[in-house]
């Protein structure tokens, strides 16, 4: 956490999954919204070895300035 960063408790998703296309899998974790960023956290020891690069590259930390639009994605298949 950064100095001055606080977690907005009303926007915490305690159980969610991140879909990874290659290798195809779902990563279990939780979403935290702070006043600076959106952060996906995985429980310790549950991230697969081949996905460890995502944590090192800060793939799970998205600064709020990079988010252009928010809201539900409405997709339908035919």
Instruction: Give domain status of residue 24, yes or no.
Output: yes
Query: How many domains does one find in the chain?
Result: 1
Q: Provide mean pLDDT across the span 19-34.
A: 86
Other beta carbons less than 10 A from residue 37's beta carbon: 19
Q: Are 47 and 55 in contact (CB under 8 A)?
A: yes
Q: What is the pLDDT of residues 42-77, one digit of tens each?
A: 888 888 888 888 888 888 888 887 777 767 767 776
Q: Write down the mean pLDDT value for the chain.
A: 81
Residue 59 within a domain: yes
pTM of the entire structure? Answer: 0.66
User: Which pLDDT does position 9 carry in this prediction?
Assistant: 77
Q: Is residue 2 part of a domain?
A: no
Question: By residue range, what is the domain housing residue 40?
Answer: 9-66
The three-state secondary structure class of 22 is: coil
Residue 34 domain-assigned?
yes
DSSP SS3 for 64: helix
Closest CA relative to residue 6, chosen from 48, 35, 43: 35
Q: Structure tokens of 13?
A: 């998703």
User: What is the model's pLDDT at position 77?
Assistant: 65
Predicted confidence band at 78 (pLDDT cuts at 50, 70, 90)?
A: low
């Amino acid at each position: 956490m950064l100095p001055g960063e606080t977690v907005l408790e009303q926007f915490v998703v305690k159980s969610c999954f991140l879909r990874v296309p290659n290798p195809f899998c779902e990563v279990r974790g939780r979403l935290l919204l702070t006043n600076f960023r959106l952060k996906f956290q995985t429980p310790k020891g549950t991230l697969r070895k081949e996905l460890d690069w995502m944590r090192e590259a800060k793939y799970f930390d998205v600064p709020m300035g990079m988010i252009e639009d928010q809201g539900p994605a409405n997709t339908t298949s035919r």
